[in-house]
Structure 1
Amino acid sequence: MTLTELKYIVAVARERHFGRAAEACFVSQPTLSVAIKKLEEELDVKIFERGASEVSVTPLGDQIVRQAQQVIEQAQAIREIAKLGKDPVSGPLRLGVIYTIGPYLLPDLVKNAIATVPQMPLMLQENFTAKLLDMLRTGELDAAIMAEPFPDTGLAVAPLYDEPFMAAVPAGHPFAQRASVTAEELKNETMLLLGTGHCFRDHVLEVCPEYARFASNAEGIRKSFEGSSLETIKYMVASGMGVTVVPQLSVPAEVQAHIRYVPFTAPAPTRRVVLAWRRTFPRYEAIAALRNAIYACPLPGVTRLTA
């Protein structure tokens, strides 16, 4: 068996589809299928059950896939160890960021990284928390910036900052001139939410649990109250369609004509933003350099954490 074949079975297990796995591995579907069939014949086991619409992993195949992930990770670690002897911060760092952090942190972070560690370019990937965790586990990412909580996957985690939430309301709303609002006061408002999959949606529902009813399977209701991104939802707020809750770093520095951002009454709800990486990742100096670049960002209104 080869590392390439192991990468193929990991990709199929992740995507549950041969075509999508082939695209992820940058090969044709026949090439991937032939390689996996060859591996199954060599091992004399069935790794996958081929269905009409989805591929499933057999119980024995699941054990093989897990071991394959470890082998791939160890092979990558060998390459990283070789680099480590030369320069631990030399070479790209593959960094994942969730959608509700990326637009507001990455511009300053990339600028700081270029200034301090130009030999370590950041290869960036924005995605949902669940997908970033999966990519960390399979070695497709070296590190990820996410918001807690997320499932315990045995990753190393370093806290970065605690970020308060703010209410975003139309400029003509009664709350617009208020010094602060409470979560209780938002109960009777039309709340605009991010779509399912965004962890920030769950954070908002923790602040305003009354809106959890909009997470039902009633498509009409859900489409009326959900948006694909924070910026889309802000435009909806500005047009008077409702109110929303946003993280502090997404609040623009300049006053906007049609939207106002109002702090929550203390204690304000917050989210903890962390940096996560595999414990076996050997380039700890690269992780430290990344953390320093993050701490060098302005981060207005947040509480920095260095523990």
Structure 2
Amino acid sequence: MTLTELRYIVAVARERHFGRAAEACFVSQPTLSVAIKKLEEELDVKIFERGANEVTMTPLGEDIVRQAQSVIEQASAIKDIAKRGKDPLDGPLRLGIIYTIGPYLLPELVKHCIELYPRMPLMLQENFTTKLLDMLRTGELDCAIMAEPFPDAGLALAPLYDEPFVVAVPASHALAKRERISAEELKAETMLLLGNGHCFRDHVLEVCPEFARFSTDAEGIRKSFEGSSLETIKHMVASGMGVTVVPALSVPAQVPDHLRYIPFEAPAPTRRVVLAWRRTFTRYEAVAALRNAVYACKLDRVTLLS
């Protein structure tokens, strides 16, 4: 067996689809399928059950894929050790980041990384928390910036900052002139939410749990609407369709005339943003450098954590 074959079965296990796995591995589907069939014949076991619409792992296949992930990670660690012996800040750092942080942190973070660590370019991947956790486990990412809480994946964590939430309302709204708003007052409003998969959606529903019921039945469209991104939802708010809750870093320096951002009454709801990486990742100096680059950013609306 080869590392390439092991990467193929890990990709199929993650995507549950041969075509998407082939795209992720940058090979043709026949190439990937033949390699996996060869591996199954060599091991004399069936790793995958091929269904009409989805591929599933056999019970034995689950154990094989788990071990394959570990082998791939260990093989990658050998390269990392070699790099570390030369210069841990020399070479790309594969960074994942969730959608509700990326647009507001990355522009300045990338700029500081280029200035401070010119030989350590960031290879960026924006995605949902669950996807980033999978990519960390399989070694496709070195580290990720995410918001707690998320499932314990045995990762090392370094807290970065606590970020308060604020309420976005149309400038013409009755609440627009308020200095502070309570979560209780939002119960009477039409709430605009991010779609399923966004962890920030869950954070908002923790603040306003009464809106959870509207996101799961047809009647809910009268009371809550879903958007694909925070910026899309902000435009919906500006057009008078409702109100929303956003993280403080997403508030622009110059607020458009048609929007108002209002803080919550104390204690304001917040989220904790952390940097996560595999405990076996050997370039710890690169992780520390990335954290320093985050601290070099101008983050006035958050509380930095040492």
For structure 1, which runs of at least 5 residues remain unmatched after alignment?
Answer: none
Paired residues for 1:1-307 under 5 Å = 1-218=1-218, 221=221, 225-306=225-306
Q: Distance in 2 between matches of 1:219 and 1:240?
A: 20
Counterpart residue type for residue 40 of structure 2: E
TM-superposed CA distance for 1:287, in Å, is: 0.2
**Deviation digits for residues 156-178 of structure 1, max 9, x if unmatched?**
01000000000000001111111
TM-superposed CA distance for 1:215, in Å, is: 2.1
Q: Distance in 2 between matches of 1:173 and 1:190?
A: 12
Counterpart residue type for residue 182 of structure 1: S
CA contact (8 A) 1:49 1:55 kept: yes
* Aligned pairs, number: 306
For structure 2, which runs of at least 5 residues remain unmatched after alignment?
Answer: none
Q: Secondary structure at the match of 2:179?
A: coil
**Deviation digits for residues 216-241 of structure 1, max 9, x if unmatched?**
14397299600000000000111110
**Deviation digits for residues 99-154 of structure 1, max 9, x if unmatched?**
00000000010000000001000001100000000000000000000000000000
Q: Distance in 2 between matches of 1:219 and 1:95?
A: 40
1:222/1:82 CA distance change after superposition, 3 Å: farther
Q: Could you state the TM-score of these two structures normalised by the residue count of structure 2?
A: 0.98
CA contact (8 A) 2:163 2:247 kept: yes
1:84/1:266 CA distance change after superposition, 3 Å: same
CA contact (8 A) 1:216 1:222 kept: no
Counterpart residue type for residue 281 of structure 1: F
Q: Could you state the TM-score of these two structures normalised by the residue count of structure 1?
A: 0.98
CA contact (8 A) 1:128 1:197 kept: yes
Q: Secondary structure at the match of 1:226?
A: strand
CA contact (8 A) 2:171 2:260 kept: yes
1:266/1:40 CA distance change after superposition, 3 Å: same
User: Identity of aligned pairs, percent?
Assistant: 81
Counterpart residue type for residue 103 of structure 1: P
